[in-house]
Amino acid sequence: MNPLPPGTDVRILGPLDYDTSLAIQEKERERVLSGGSPGTVFLLEHTPPVITLGRRADESNILADEKTLILKGYRLRHTGRGGDVTVHEPGQAVAYFVVPVAPKTAAPFVKGILGLMGLFLLEEYGIDALYDAKRPGLWARDAKLCAVGVDLTGGVSTHGIAINVSNSMEGFSLVAPCGIAGGTVTSLSVLLGRTVDSAAFMDKFARHLRNSVNER
């Protein structure tokens, strides 16, 4: 399933703080609801780093107190997406999908946006990242490479996926990522044994997304 409607725009925003990204998504969501836009995918990386909790997150999955998080430079935010606790850091590529979603297609939509990333990773980097419905996300060498969490309120999606490209991964030592105690996470740079520039990654992924829209 290709989750992107015809005409979907793809925009690279670059480094952006988390609160501003929420405001941008909400503004675009209103445009989609009013018929003023077919939808947009926003590509960015979050700075300063932030730890977010989904709407059903267990706060015990944050392993450090808020003072420690602040001292280490991490903000803490509660959000309306699905999923548990995750980390966004500079060097991690985030794709926010603000597009219309048909009723009762939540699972196919999530699998579809992960499928776009999975195909891109295989074609561009030779990484076979596998989808796991029981542990939503993409996994490579039994470590989580790409997390997913969406909000489909009102038939328009917000939030999306985050893939570790060249981020420090420090924040993942402060949480039980996605609620998995002792969960192992990895990055594209670790898997390839070389540093992958996150900006270059987003440029290439943007082309991949635009091609998928044009091929519809």
SS3 21: helix
Distance in angstroms (rounded) separating the CA atoms of residues 196 and 165: 6
- How far apart CA 116 and CA 201 sit, in angstroms, is 14
Pairing state between β 9-16 and 40-46: parallel
Catalytic status, residue 146: no
Reduced DSSP (H G I as helix, E B as strand, rest coil) percent helix, strand, coil of the chain, to 5: 35, 30, 35
Residue 48's closest CA among 92, 17, 76?
A: 17
How many Cα atoms within 13 Å fall on the side-chain side of residue 128?
Answer: 2
In degrees, rounded to 5, the angle at the alpha carbon of residue 172 between the alpha carbons of residues 166 and 174 is 140
Using an 8 Å Cβ cutoff, are 209 and 10 in contact? yes
Q: Select which of 178, 188, 196, 202 is catalytic.
A: 178
Residue 169 CA to residue 105 CA, distance in Å, equals: 32
Amino acid identity for residue 136 in this structure: P
Tell me which residues are annotated as active site.
178
